[in-house]
Amino acid sequence: MAIVLSLLAANSSFMAKENVMTVHANKIISDVSPTMYGLFFEDINFGADGGLYAELVKNRSFEFTQNLMGWNIFGNVTLMNDGPFNRNPHYVRLGKSAHPHKHSGIENEGFFGMGLKAGNEYRFSVWARGKGQRIRVELIDNDSMGETQVITSKKLEISSDDWKKYQIILKPEVEEKKAHLRIFLETEGNVDLEHVSLFPVDTWKNRENGLRKDLVQALADLSPDVFRFPGGCIVEGTDMGNRYQWKETVGQVENRPTNENRWHYTFPHRFFPDYFQSYGLGFYEYFQLSEDIGAEPLPILNCGLLCQYQNNDDCQIPADSLDLFVQDALDLIEFANGDINTKWGKLRAEMGHPEPFNLKYLGIGNEQWGQIYVDRLKVFVDVIRKQHPEIKIVGSSGPYPEGEEFEYLWKGMKELKVDLVDEHFYRPDNWFISQGKRYDNYDRKGPKVFAGEYACHVPGKKWNHFRAALLEAAFMTGLERNADMVRMATYAPLLAHIDGWQWRPDLIWFDNLSVMKTCSYYVQQLYATNKGTHSLKLTMDGNVVCGDKEQNGLFASAVWDENNKTYIVKVVNTSENAQDIKIDFKGLKKKLQTKGECILLHSEKMEAENTLENPNLIVPKKADVMVEKNAINDILPPMSFMVYKLTAI
């Protein structure tokens, strides 16, 4: 089949008629939003703890519901609960063993093990007390068949009877994906240990309490404009106790309370009872990361509704009792932007960032629905508009991208005059193919669209395969053509640990040592790095190119990039035939350079996907394209996504 198709591609005379598209270079539809493409982050699939947050120790504060979960204890170990951190009171006491040949100690299993790179440094730290005591800290190969389990080991002397932080650097000489951390008491007395931590020294920007460098780099390489955080359903909470409260995620890291992660039990067939949130990656780290990667932060806050799938309306917080929730929103704005003499601005400064983070957007509620949501959102909107007219507010349109509830919420959002409406669509292939014109007829007078969570879910055994990515690329031509209406778009979810996922497909997969970028990742990257500054009219036989009948499965859009004086055209061929295309430029003020660039994302097998073992199976490929008489002629392989870049001179 592949051979037949490439023969077909090589000889355009076998093909159906040429597809002639026109880019109307003098017809600007609108500017492209500076926040157009970005990231949706949620601590799902071990995306934060065990993922982006580089901490290698699980349950470092002994605060999981089962306090010793993640730890193996041996010898004389007692769990205590009057430690130095009032929001994390538990710690362990290691005492003398019953026999001199026996040992007391603890062993941590990490997140599906701990990834160690040969020759890299790892910072072990612990809060401890017990003057004169000595511990031995080891990194071990958990399932070693070799002579010794010990990869590296160091001793640490405890010098005080008061709580104090100690640190040592461990340097393994071998690589190990699933190591454990083991601590022995070597002396005769008691030693108390709290907040037992192990980080790579080589984190993103070498920060202590830092983030995994390879994962952040993968995010930065997406060139994101906007960064939604912390979710997702995690915002809502199964009950009041585990809703996301940003204030619990800032300040001294040792005293940020541990919270249950709802994704540990949401899908019983992917059950992870050891999934908790340490909040080590909290709101300060989030704002800092947004700044690092040049993305506008877009926090989503709880609106006073617990997860509506899991709770009846009568369990919810009444709309007239939202003071605490509204205050949280105001305080977050102060934490991000406030003067350092304000309560929350001062904390930001103490944490290391006296300059404001320039927060401009705030989402209230995640996937909420019904009048119950509109009533609560109204309370927030009234207060925020009055006190912070500079903040743009994002409201929800519920979990589904169409239907009665969706219409009802859009009406509500227009009445409340929110700035953007968050739409979610996890939908199958035929939905993505049929939605090329989704935004063409949206009402331009009301709020704008934030496509806040979306991904093509093609049923089958594989999830992040090429076909899903291709259909996302096709659909996104409609976002670009409607750049006046769609001002933000974020694929979801972002990250997934190969051993700990609950939801798929996801944009980036990883294990303890490596990262894999999916085909969908490359689609997002090609859009974000070629978004241009202005969207242009593009037609074929006078119509927009959106996969309509008679359009041979083609989707296309065009932008002008004022900064690089470049025209960028994206064409997606969703058909199983090669397509002969001509792209003609009309209304040009300047000539096009005769040689342009094209970037192709293509796989001959629709079910093919990148994997951790073979991460570069499907990657974008660059080539030259020739321009003749202000037009390009090309043959698009079946099932392919092409980006053409032509510079004006």
Applying CB under 6 A, the span of 228-236, 340-348, 524-532, 538-546 interacting with ligand AHR comes to 228-236
Of the pair 402, 584, the CB lying nearest ligand AHR is at 402
Q: What does the block give as tokens for 29?
A: 């539809």
301 binding ligand AHR? (CB under 6 A): no
Q: If you write DSSP's letter for every residue of 98-138 in order, what string do you get?
A: SSTTS--EEEE-BTTBEEE-TT--EEEEEEEE-TT-EEEEE
Provide, rounded to whole angstroms, the least separation between the CB of residue 266 and ligand AHR. Answer: 9
Triad 63, 182, 109: Cα angle to 5°:
55
Q: Which part of the chain contacts ligand AHR (CB under 6 A), choosing from 16-24, 51-59, 229-237, 337-345? A: 229-237
The one-letter amino acid code at 309 reads Y
Task: Tell me: does residue 493 bind ligand AHR (CB under 6 A).
Answer: yes
Catalytic residue annotation: 367
Taking CB under 6 A as the criterion, the residue among 94, 126, 233, 636 binding ligand AHR is 233
Residue 476 tokens read as 């996104």
Report the nearest approach of ligand AHR to the CB of residue 493 (Å). 4
Q: Is 232 in the site for ligand AHR (CB under 6 A)?
A: yes
Between 336 and 507, whose beta carbon lies closer to ligand AHR?
507
Residue 401 backbone zone (phi > 0: left; psi -120 to 50: alpha; other: beta): alpha
Stretch binding ligand AHR (CB under 6 A), from 67-75, 225-233, 339-347, 537-545: 225-233
Residue number with CB closer to ligand AHR (493 or 500): 493
Residue type, 481: R
Residue type, position 374, single letter: V
Select 299 or 399, whichever has its Cβ closest to ligand AHR: 399
Q: Is residue 492 a contact point for ligand AHR (CB under 6 A)?
A: yes
Residue of 503, 510, 560, 567 that binds ligand AHR (CB under 6 A) = 503
Q: How far is CA 207 from CA 163, 199, 210, in A?
A: 24, 10, 5
Residue closer to ligand AHR (CB basis): 192 or 423: 423
Residues 242-271 that bind ligand AHR (CB under 6 A): none
Stretch of residues binding ligand AHR (CB under 6 A), selected from 100-108, 230-238, 273-281, 523-531: 230-238
94 or 307: CB nearest ligand AHR: 307
Shortest distance, CB of residue 309 to ligand AHR, whole angstroms? 9
Task: Output 140-145 pairs: Cβ under 8 A, ≥24 positions apart.
Answer: 140/107, 140/179, 140/180, 140/181, 140/182, 141/174, 141/176, 141/179, 142/109, 142/113, 142/178, 142/179, 142/180, 143/178
CB 494 → ligand AHR: shortest distance, Å? Answer: 9
Q: Provide the minimum distance between the beta carbon of 238 and ligand AHR in the complex, in angstroms, as a whole number.
A: 12
Least distance in angstroms from the C-beta of 262 to ligand AHR? 9
Determine whether 529 is exposed, middle or buried from the number of CB atoms within 10 Å of its CB (0-12, 13-18, 19+): middle
225 binds ligand AHR (CB under 6 A): no
Which residue lies nearer to ligand AHR by CB, 272 or 555? Answer: 272
Using CB under 6 A as the binding rule, whether residue 231 contacts ligand AHR is answered as: yes
Tell me if 184 sits within 8 A of 104, measured CB to CB. yes
366 forms part of the interface with ligand AHR (CB under 6 A): yes
Question: Whose CB is nearest to ligand AHR?
Answer: 232
Strands 448-456 and 486-491: parallel
Q: Least Å distance between CB 588 and ligand AHR?
A: 43
- Residues with Cβ within 8 Å of 511's Cβ and at least 6 positions away in sequence, in order, are 112, 115, 177, 497, 498, 499, 612
Q: How far is the CB of 382 from ligand AHR (least distance, A)?
A: 25
Rounded CA separation 414/411 (Å): 5
- What is the x/- site pattern for ligand AHR, positions 439-458, by CB under 6 A? --------------x-----
Q: What is the DSSP string of 21-86?
A: EEEEEEEEEEEPPTT-EEEE--S-TTSTBTTTB----TTTTS-SSSTTTTEEEESEEEEE---S-T
- The position carrying tokens 């790179």 is 117
Q: Print the binding letters for residues 371-400 with ligand AHR: x by CB under 6 A, - otherwise.
A: ----------------------------x-
C-beta of 561: minimal distance to ligand AHR in Å?
Answer: 31
Q: Is the dihedral of CA 379, 381, 382, 388 positive or negative?
A: positive
Q: Render the burial of 44-71: b for 16+ CB within 10 Å, e for the rest.
A: bbbbbbbbbbbbbbbbbbbbbeebeebb
Write down the residue that tokens 């991460």 correspond to: 615
Closer by beta carbon to ligand AHR, 108 or else 261:
261
Q: Which positions from 330 through 359 interact with ligand AHR, judged by CB under 6 A?
A: none
Please select the residue that binds ligand AHR; options are 43, 367, 580, 609, rule is CB under 6 A: 367
**Burial (0-12, 13-18, 19+ Cβ within 10 Å), 307:** buried
Nearer to ligand AHR, 352 or 459 (CB): 459
Which range of residues in 227-235, 344-352, 530-538, 616-624 is near ligand AHR by CB under 6 A?
A: 227-235
CB distance 108 to 58 below 8 Å: yes
How many residues sit in the footprint of ligand AHR (CB under 6 A)? Answer: 12
Phi, psi of 423 (to 5 degrees): -110, 140
Site for ligand AHR contains 62 (CB under 6 A):
no
Residue by residue, DSSP assigns 363-414 as: EE-SS--SHHHHHHHHHHHHHHHHH-TTSEEEEE--S-SSSHHHHHHHHHHH
What is the closest distance, in whole angstroms, from the C-beta atom of residue 470 to ligand AHR in the complex?
21
- Residue 44 touching ligand AHR (CB under 6 A): yes
In this complex, which beta carbon is closest to ligand AHR, that of residue 254 or of residue 367?
Answer: 367
Contact residues for ligand AHR, defined by CB under 6 A: 42, 44, 231-233, 366-367, 399, 453, 492-493, 503
